[in-house]
Structure 1
Amino acid sequence: MPPIQINDTTLRDGEQAAGVAFTVAEKVIFATLMDAIGVQELEVGIPAMGSTEAEAITEINNLGLKTLLTGWNRAVRSDIDASLACGLERVHISVPVSEIQIAVKFQGNCQSVFDRLRDTLSYACDRGLYISVGGEDSSRADDNFLLDVALAAQDWGASRFRFCDTVGILDPLTTHKKVQQLVSKLIIPVEMHTHNDFGMATANALAGIRAGATSVNTTVNGLGERAGNAALEEVVMALKRIYGINTGIDTSQFKEISKFVVRASGCDVPPWKAIVGDNAFTHESGIHGHGVLQNPATYEPFSPEEVGRERRLVIGKHTGKHLVTNLLQQHGITLNQTETRSLVDAVRDLSVELKRSLTPDELLNLIPNLN
């Protein structure tokens, strides 16, 4: 498979999540962090919004980062002017391609899609910009119409075409079929943009890559509109560990960047969230704990250190004697089999009562009360 480029859109589609608003300083810090770990491209926002949005984009552009910076635009000349005013040299131009989107935005006039796209592409090309074109709602578009738009964009100067599963309605098999058709007909690269409305954003992004797409949109923590987008940490680690594709990104900083986005967005991640959730490398059950103590690979797909994490073994309702004995040994305590069995029973009772795992002190406090 060819090299895969990560084009992270946390600063654009991520911030479009309801209730999220990054400050200029937060956007600048985020861009710096992403540049430091080697993310190849950032969709930095929507210049046409003006005000603090344009201010943040301009400040990021002035940092001199290695990562490529792209602004999101409608197929309108004034949007391109706004991107130029921020100093951007790369623009993404979005046009609706599904019947429902065209009906709402272009009054059902399909020819308007081509007319607006050609005019805006010509305007951007004349100014020497790198141009990505996105088919909004590609997943619900007529396949032939979508291909016609993509081929027209290619002919008129686009350097990349974005396939958008705007409302997240695809499954991986359908995604592969649709993207493969595009890839087979286009000379320019195809980029994946997937949403998580049915919980398949990462799977669909990977299916698109398997079909030949060479660029993929992500957001940290999967932040984004409605149910979110394909998560950066999930896509990168799946490419690395499942497909053997190293994107060149320093994954050891994923947890710290995840925590930064949580603070900046006010949106926490559930403990079971893949890669960066608190429970991703936490073990409580007896069978799992026993296996991990002998060989972590029994119940972990990769080392937690690879993504800036640490393994945690916790005591709770499902804990067996091996985990309890291990923790006691760390405190220089040895119990006989009968005492250990009684302690495990006491741990389970207290854990159910408290409805959570126990702290080490709570475990140790149970020992004097053993029968």
Structure 2
Amino acid sequence: MDSTLRDGEQTSGVSFVPHEKLMVARMLLRDVNVDRIEVASARVSDGEKTAVAMICRYAQMTDAIGRVEVLGFVDGGRSVDWIADCGGKVINLLSKGSLKHCMQQLGKTAAEHILDIRREVDYAHSKGLEVNLYLEDWSNGMKDSPDYVFQMMEGLKDCGIRRFMLPDTLGVLNPMQVMEFFRTMLECYPETHFDFHAHNDYDLAVANSLAAVVSGAAGLHVTVNGLGERCGNAPLSSVQVIMRDQLGVKTSICEDRLNEISRLVESYSGISVAPNQPIVGENVFTQVAGVHADGDNKDRLYCNDLTPERFGRKREYALGKASGKANIEMNLQELGLELEPEQVRQITKRITELGDRKAVVTQEDLPFIVSDVLKHTAPEEADKVKLLGYMVSLAYGIKPLASLKVSINGEEFTGEATGDGQYDAFVKALRRIYRDKLGRSLPDLLNYAVTIPPGGRTDALVQTVITWQDENRIFRTRALDADQTQAAINATIKMLNQIENSR
């Protein structure tokens, strides 16, 4: 049972508007195919009532109304009437599962509470509603007041409650306790349907859900992306794959839609999914180390049962300082680019340099890097002009200053100049070196264009393309770098090498 739209909405700062609730509910029921959804708490607001009515109308039209549940309260029938007015058919009635909660929050004895619950259940049945019952704080009830828990069960076991739902409300249990408490409940009530509702305060929600199933739980409560109060609930995607892969449990869940529902809820909730979140995180199917890419290329040596295709995704091989030649080759192969070993070595070197500077390199950047490395100069002609060092400054109210040192055909030169911008100052310093030291002029700059490669990110790489005119000849040089000024400087050095090679 997915409770994203009720318990998940109790995440701090999360509030779904009615049409968002409808879209999430529709995807959970139709596409992900969860068994049940809990969509709201009764009597919260007019907007919530609108949302529940919309979901119930959709569910009625698709013969899924029995799969839509609403949290209700022991409040003299008001929750029942609210849910019935919305078209709902299932109430998840909230009761107290620990003596402390019953005595201190309600100020009632167990017997009085049981009597109130039975009246509420009878009224719900008279309105045609199916009833499930939450024993709130059941985990602490089993730890501190087990006699109270069994008094509640004895008083309610015969009044037509379909499911008893056992929450670890404060997330205090560990898997051993879950197993002990569930087995105790089932020994006493072997024919009863028990759900388990985990919270993640000790980062044990998934492990505790696993323990509950091993111990006989008939249902589990989850939320998309683990949303929920405080540290959240058990994530739908993680629980699903553990049930299937670790226990061999068959469910109705369509795994290839888990990533899609995760992205939808991420967008509506405003709560970002961690990149390393299992199954749905951005990076979980990305291999970074080159040795892993090499192993996958040879015989999928670094793959497990969590294949990306299973979840409608694909495996990627990161580009960066840890990539190695195998990662580069895997990405080139996927793009359909075939290069010679020496060319791959040069590209690997360039990507490593970018990675050392913490630049984000994407697969979309790769064709531009290939062009940047291989297009302009053949290896035997390269580096007649070398940039040995430079400094550019930028200060408010003062023209930018550039100071640089270059090697031209083995001879070193230095120069300085100010300009209208950092790159302008750099070029003027170069022109001064060529004019004063070599008695030569440089080509005119006709056009200067900066772009982000398609699919690239603003914090990653920029491509600079500069058009030059040398007498009657017009040509272009381009360069790629994480820094715009550096990319322009690199393109300029390529231009100088072309000039020297042509001489």
Aligned to 2:139: 139
| 2:173 is the counterpart of 1:170 | yes
Identity over aligned pairs, percent: 27
Aligned to 2:122: 122
Aligned to 1:3: none
Matches of 1:156 and 1:168, distance apart in 2: 29
Greater radius of gyration (CA): 2
RMSD: 2.3
Matches of 1:217 and 1:51, distance apart in 2: 26
| 2:237 is the counterpart of 1:233 | yes
Bigger strand fraction: 2
Aligned to 2:74: 75
Aligned to 1:322: 326
Q: SS in structure 1 opposite 2:6?
A: helix
Aligned partner of 1:61 among 53, 56, 60: 56
Q: SS in structure 1 opposite 2:133?
A: strand
Aligned to 2:224: 220
Q: SS in structure 1 opposite 2:243?
A: helix
Count how many residue pairs are aligned between Structure 1 and Structure 2.
363
Paired residues of 1:102 and 1:108 also in contact (CA < 8 A): yes
Note the alpha carbon deviations across 1:65-86, whole angstroms, 9 max, x for none: 3441111011222112211111
| 2:366 is the counterpart of 1:360 | yes
Supply the AA of the counterpart residue of 2:320. G
Aligned to 1:4: none
Paired residues of 2:292 and 2:301 also in contact (CA < 8 A): no
| 2:10 is the counterpart of 1:16 | yes
Alpha-carbon offset, residue 317 of structure 1: 2.7
Alpha-carbon offset, residue 364 of structure 1: 3.0
Distance 1:97 1:326, change over 3 A: closer
Alpha-carbon offset, residue 123 of structure 1: 2.0
Larger relative contact order (C-alpha < 8 A, sep ≥ 6)?
1
Paired residues of 1:255 and 1:308 also in contact (CA < 8 A): yes
Paired residues of 1:328 and 1:334 also in contact (CA < 8 A): no
Alpha-carbon offset, residue 147 of structure 1: 2.7
Greater displacement, 45-54 / 349-358: 349-358
Q: SS in structure 1 opposite 2:5?
A: helix
Matches of 1:298 and 1:318, distance apart in 2: 16
Structure 2, unaligned stretches of length 5 or more?
383-503
Aligned to 2:39: 44
Matches of 1:229 and 1:283, distance apart in 2: 28
Distance 1:169 1:355, change over 3 A: farther
Alpha-carbon offset, residue 128 of structure 1: 3.5
State TM-score, norm by structure 2: 0.67
Distance 1:212 1:367, change over 3 A: same
Structure 1, unaligned stretches of length 5 or more?
1-6
Q: What does residue range 73-222 of structure 1 map to in structure 2 within 5 Å?
A: 73-76=72-75, 77-107=77-107, 109-141=109-141, 142-186=145-189, 187-222=191-226
Paired residues of 1:61 and 1:86 also in contact (CA < 8 A): yes
Paired residues of 1:288 and 1:299 also in contact (CA < 8 A): no
Aligned partner of 2:287 among 275, 283, 291: 283
Paired residues of 1:281 and 1:300 also in contact (CA < 8 A): no
Q: SS in structure 2 opposite 1:225?
A: coil
| 2:27 is the counterpart of 1:33 | yes
Supply the AA of the counterpart residue of 1:71. V
Q: SS in structure 2 opposite 1:48?
A: coil
Matches of 1:365 and 1:314, distance apart in 2: 19
Paired residues of 1:286 and 1:319 also in contact (CA < 8 A): yes
Note the alpha carbon deviations across 1:181-210, whole angstroms, 9 max, x for none: 112222220001111111111111121111
Alpha-carbon offset, residue 362 of structure 1: 6.6
Supply the AA of the counterpart residue of 1:21. S
Matches of 2:125 and 2:188, distance apart in 1: 22
Alpha-carbon offset, residue 144 of structure 1: 2.9
Supply the AA of the counterpart residue of 2:319. I
Distance 1:365 1:350, change over 3 A: farther
Distance 1:165 1:347, change over 3 A: same
Q: SS in structure 2 opposite 1:236?
A: helix
Distance 1:352 1:115, change over 3 A: farther
Paired residues of 1:325 and 1:334 also in contact (CA < 8 A): no
Paired residues of 1:47 and 1:72 also in contact (CA < 8 A): yes
Matches of 1:28 and 1:14, distance apart in 2: 15
Matches of 1:294 and 1:119, distance apart in 2: 67
Note the alpha carbon deviations across 1:258-317, whole angstroms, 9 max, x for none: 111111111110000111111111111122222222334633322212112111111123
